[in-house]
Structure 1
């Protein structure tokens, strides 16, 4: 996921301040996800459960990330798409419900683990294993929106006097 983030950053860095900030937030979220999940090259070594502060920090980043997506980035993207026609608008209308499903999953994860009891932590690894692919799907969908936004911006620039 981090290598895909770097690819996206190379293509879109500097084109929109909001997108740059969003990609920075994505990177912070991914780094904390990797830490929390204990992903490392040595998978044979058992890991201790993360502390409650680490879980809370990750949950805060997760909620901030999905909130920024809906209240900052998507509003900007949808406004641009409303001014566009055809494929870009259809793409946004297709992607948004899928993003909403990813958001709902992330918020359920947050509800379960924000302030979690020790008993809740018994299913943390299993839930992180489910959250990983959801985040990966979300990032792919967001990248499609960003790519389409870039196309819209280029079309607007070409038609502007």
Structure 2
């Protein structure tokens, strides 16, 4: 994505990418909060099922963008600065992958509203804890591998 550019251009491009991605995260949080308030879902309750399906799709898109685009560009930026900040990714990637596995299990169970919706509140609780942990790790990646370079490109 950001090939053959100066370090300043790379930083600006990653900054735009991260900003869009964090907007997607905010939307996921809003949708998650709306879903977690739904305690009695029925198989024929179309608005709730649609909301659940939309949440699952957006969550999968967000996580895919993280793994296949954002993390990649953050690492490339950190490597371009050659300040050792890319090392944090090596520590966090296995933990991020675990959170992805939990989220994908949730998606597999509920994306088509075929899972037992009676277990949804408990599953949402586990997913909420997982997402909170993931967001903290992602913020650490962003702070260490991107924001720490802000002054160098100013």
**Does 1:132 find its partner at 2:132?**
no
Is contact 2:56-2:107 (8 Å) kept? yes
- Give unmatched runs, 5+ long, in structure 1: 1-14, 40-46
Which of 78, 87, 92 lines up with 1:90 in the alignment?
87
Q: Distance in 2 between matches of 1:74 and 1:59?
A: 21
Partner of 2:116: 120
Q: RMSD of the alignment, in Å? A: 2.2
Shift of 1:60: 0.6
Shift of 1:37: 0.4
Partner of 2:138: 142
Shift of 1:72: 1.5
Q: Deviations over 1:87-138 (max 9, x none)?
A: 4122121111111111111111101101122x61111000000000110011
Q: Distance in 2 between matches of 1:19 and 1:89?
A: 16
Shift of 1:86: 5.2
Q: Which segment drifts farther, 48-57 or 80-89?
A: 80-89
Q: Distance in 1 between matches of 2:151 and 2:67?
A: 23
- Give unmatched runs, 5+ long, in structure 2: 1-13
Is contact 1:82-1:89 (8 Å) kept? yes
Q: What secondary structure is seen at the aligned counterpart in 2 of 1:59?
A: helix
Considering Cα pairs closer than 8 Å and 6+ residues apart, tell me whether 1 or 2 has the greater RCO. Answer: 2
Q: What secondary structure is seen at the aligned counterpart in 2 of 1:48?
A: coil
Is contact 1:56-1:114 (8 Å) kept? yes
TM-score, length-scaled by structure 2: 0.79
Q: What secondary structure is seen at the aligned counterpart in 2 of 1:109?
A: helix
Partner of 2:54: 57
Question: What is the 5 A alignment of 1:5-154?
Answer: 16-38=15-37, 47-49=39-41, 51-85=48-82, 87-117=84-114, 120-148=116-144, 149-154=146-151
